[in-house]
Structure 1
Amino acid sequence: MKTLIKNGQVFLAGKLTQQDILIKDDRIQAIGSHLEHLRSTDRVIDAKGKLVSPGLIDVHVHYREPGQTYKETVATGSQAAAHGGFTTVGAMPNVTPVPNTPELFQAMTTINHKDGVVHIKQYAPITVDRTTDELVDFKALKAAGAFGFSNDGNGVQTAGVMFQAMQAAAQVGLPIVAHVEDDSLKNNGVMNAGPQAQALGVPGIPSVCESSQLARDLMLAQATGVHYHVCHVSTKESVALIRWAKQQGINVTCEVAPHHLLLSDEQITKADPYYKMNPPLRSEADRQALIAGLLDGTIDMIATDHAPHSREEKQGDMQTAAFGITGSETAFATLYTAFVKEGIFTLEQLLTWMTSKPAEIFKLNDSGSLLPGTVADIAIFDLENEHVLTEEEYFSKGVNTPFTGMKVYGMTAMTLVAGNIAYSREEK
């Protein structure tokens, strides 16, 4: 099967250029100008007026399977990813049961392979059931295919446990991917501690809840040499700490979520559970620090923290509703609209943070760039036409996002995974 993508503006080696792409079976065969002379093409995709990018990479999603499939499944979550232009994702292990053993882990990867329409890399937990102090068998879980180790959803509360985990991860050459949150400082909060929380009469989560545990972990990472990756950075203090740590040569990388770039707690004018997420939306000063951190290289990449919940779990008030926001289907378009069209980021920067940087850092050697011989994971985006986000178009079971109703540019026109069409707007 040969497919020709022609007339597109292609993101190639960090630059935008008019090129055609020839795909043979699951791999890119050639990239060049005017490849339409190749007569044996079976399928032609005209990308005139559209952006052709390497498939986006999201190292932080929640697919809820097994055990919580009323929220999401591998099938619906991966379809949502393809709808958003993502072709590779990293799935977190906060499922039921937690994949503590190679057998449970392999059962998850079997489902990922069978039902996923994108490439799904699977994290293993750091500790048994994610909330205990008992370490998993790092060596055995790496052998079973673990992408990294994460207790996402919970911080590792004990320094000694995290130190031992970092030593074990360093020995097997995989990253610790950390949710940084000191439970003793959370105070049963539901949003950022500050004037908005006070005005709404709800308990707040102080920024030191994140930054204090991060400071601890950075010292432990320095001592162990582990690759330490920080999930969903949200505070200006965290950005400053990571900037300092990189200057010291500590092997730290980090991600920021689209919602923390796009929103602050100033937008929470009523107790709307769709604005309840963990870490919470922070102050405007924090949001600006995150933007600055991306631009100066302190923050390495963007990852969605796609966290679907049922409608029932996101109803009611802020105090009883679940934490979490979806992101797979809205990330690129909302970021493109708010930042690229406004001249804050370049398109090349946004694509780098969502393709080549995560591929480089997580050693995804066959992803994140368009090169002859690599797997044909490709996203095509419509940058010219305005679109209103609606719940009806989402593939995810979760509709828990405040971005529904937003007018955006940059919706996905087509996503190809290993040369196969995983999503097409025309065929939806």
Structure 2
Amino acid sequence: MILDLLLTNALLVEPGVGVTPGALGVKDGRIAALLAPGTTLPATETIDCQGRWVIPGLIDPHVHFGFGSPETDFLTESRSAALGGVTTILSFHRQKDFREGFGAVMARATEQSCIDFGFHFGLTSQLHVDTLADVSSRFGVASYKLYLMYKGQAGLAQGFTEIDDALMYAALRETAAIPGGVLGIHCENVEVIPLLRDPLRRAGRNDLAAWDEQSPDFLEAENVHRACYFAARTGCPINIVHLSSREALDEVRRHRASRSAAPIYVETCPQYLFLTRESPAGTFAKVNPPVRSQSDVDALWEGVLDGTVTTIGSDHVPRKRTTKMKDIWDASNGFPGTATILPIMIHEGYHRRGVPIERIAQVTSTASARLYNLPTKGRLSVGCDADLAIVDPDLERTVDAADLESFADYSPYEGMTLKGWPVMTFSRGRKIVIDGQITDEARNQPGGRYIRRDHQGA
């Protein structure tokens, strides 16, 4: 056998196992061989990894492509993701009726994306629940999201009029009937927020900490409790997305200890593992839920280490900096982040806190592959897709939005020097990033594929 690609002198990072010196061979877009150090096979191309890590390409299960430049986001944001070692993304999709127009969205993404991609459906109406089984089977989507923060007046401001506990219960019941289905839930008790927010505004507060104080940790934890309770009653697997606080994490632990609990997964984001309400980024770090205290940051790293946290997603939103250059109350929510997941996890997790790189690979790739039915992703195993990142753990780079290729022209981490960056990214064995640059081939022929994630697609 002549390999298409041979990576030699590598440290192979096996999620959940450890780090092993060796070599890795690729044939026809799949991992074809895992070899002992010094072993070689004939290959069309051989790359000396110079003792660097080879990890499974990251899976970012939480991006909002289409919220920046809807017509071109899959072009720019897939490149930005690839620069950070991300080789698969799952983007949230909302529309009035998923049966109308979703095919066009898939076609545009296929034309533009240089990495593989899938979608979650955002559920905002009874129509979405009533048609869920149909659209899930039709399009191969088995994961969804319900937005508890868009209840009542908060939802009305976004054009949503049907989000309440009844819709959540109906969505849980319907998701439970779909093989492999999981419902992600945004947990914030938006009904209490105005009571806390209005006095802060009247007092003239205009700082990042005020955004935390208007939606404090106990409002997240209360919604986590409600979601977990209804999930147990319906037997529906749920995923608490972008969990941000110690109190909410402890609420998950409490429900998981209950013998009646349904499967409960937890996603957190790099911002909740790195930024605090004191961050000098100010409005550029405004997000829902808010970034919180150092105590919350520490608690979430404990959750990463002890397994309470299942996955890491960026919550990437690629809007322009002009939408952020307002006071804390009027600046847009969210920020770009898919390209900086891995540098933050290595810098803060591996270097500062001693989190093993195999654990980082587990939460940034393998766990999402398992949760979201991506059986050929997330592992360094023969037969899996050759989605790979070569990583230099000692490479220091200062974050500059101009280098990250996003439609967004800023980063909340702008000017920060992070230690540990990918230097090469492969999508199904194809080089798409070399030394921090998108390859000409990836620019001219993006090559990303839509991934069905139902059992038919598996």
Q: Is TM more than 0.5 here?
A: yes
Amino acid in the other structure paired with 2:13: F
Tell me if 1:57 matches 2:67. Answer: no
264, 270, 273: which one aligns with 1:261: 273
Q: Deviations over 1:145-194 (max 9, x none)?
A: 21411145945641111111111111113111111122212229789x8x
Matches within 5 A, 1:3-82: 3-12=5-14, 14-34=17-37, 37-39=40-42, 41-64=43-66, 68-69=68-69, 73-82=73-82
Change (3 A) 1:190 1:291: farther
Classify the secondary structure of the residue corresponding to 1:341. Answer: helix
Once residues 359 and 123 of structure 1 are traced to their aligned partners in structure 2, the CA distance between those partners, rounded to angstroms, is 14
Q: CA deviation at 1:384?
A: 2.1
What letter is aligned with 2:192?
L
**CA deviations over 1:346-394 (Å, ceiling 9, x no partner):** 2222111112122222222111101111111111111122211112201
Identity %: 24
Alignment-mate amino acid for residue 120 of structure 2: Y
Report what 2:441 is aligned to.
none
Amino acid paired to 1:221:
A
1:211-360 to 2 correspondences below 5 Å: 211-248=221-258, 249-268=261-280, 272-360=282-370
Does residue 1:372 correspond to 2:366, yes or no? Answer: no
* Correspondence for 1:187: 194
Which 4+ residue blocks in structure 1 deviate beyond 6 angstroms?
188-191
3-state DSSP of counterpart to 2:122:
coil
Q: Which residue of 2 aligns with 1:137?
A: 131
Alpha carbons 2:142, 2:178 under 8 Å: kept: no
Give the 5 Å matches for 1:96-107. Answer: 98=95, 100-107=97-104
More divergent stretch after superposition (50-59 vs 138-147): 138-147
Match of 2:106 in 1: 109
In the TM superposition, what whole-angstrom CA distance separates every residue of 1:323-358 from its partner, at most 9, and x where no partner exists?
A: 112111111112211221123412222111112122
8 Å contact 2:148–2:164 — kept in the other structure?
Answer: no
1:34 deviation in Å?
5.0
Q: Is the 8 A contact 1:9 1:49 kept in 2?
A: yes
Q: Does 1:417 align with 2:445?
A: no
Which amino acid in the other structure matches residue 91 of structure 1? S
Q: Which amino acid aligns with 2:274?
A: L
CA distance in 2: counterparts of 1:25 and 1:99, whole angstroms:
40
Residue pair 1:185, 1:208 contacting (<8 A) in 2 also:
no
Aligned residues: 415
Q: Distance in 2 between matches of 1:55 and 1:365?
A: 14
Structure 2 SS opposite 1:184: coil
* RMSD between superposed Cα atoms in Å: 2.6
Counterpart for residue 177 of structure 1: 184
Q: CA deviation at 1:426?
A: 6.2
Provide the rounded CA distance (Å) in 1 between the counterparts of 2:245 and 2:195. Answer: 19
Q: What amino acid does structure 2 have at the position aligned with 1:245?
A: H
CA contact 1:389–1:403 (8 Å) conserved in 2: yes
1:70 offset after TM fit, Å?
6.4
SS in 1 for 2:244: coil
Choose which of 391, 416, 425 in structure 2 pairs with 1:381: 391
What are structure 2's unaligned runs of at least 5 residues?
152-162, 439-458
Higher relative contact order (CA 8 A, sep 6+): 2
Q: Determine if contact 2:63/2:316 at 8 Å carries over to the other structure.
A: yes
CA deviations on 1:19-46 (whole Å, 9 max, x unpaired) are 111101211111102576423x111122
TM normalised by structure 1 equals 0.90
**2:91 counterpart letter in structure 1:** A
Q: Secondary structure at the match of 1:329?
A: helix
C-alpha distance in structure 2 between counterparts of 1:227 and 1:50, whole Å: 37
CA contact (8 A) 1:27 1:374 kept: yes
Cα contact 1:389–1:407 (8 A) shared by 2: yes
- CA 1:188–1:335 in structure 2 vs 1: closer, same or farther (change >3 Å)? farther
Could you give the per-residue CA deviations for residues 261-300 of structure 1, whole angstroms, max 9, x where no partner exists? Answer: 11111225x8x31021111111222222212222222111
Query: Equivalent of 2:145, from 146, 150, 158?
Result: 150
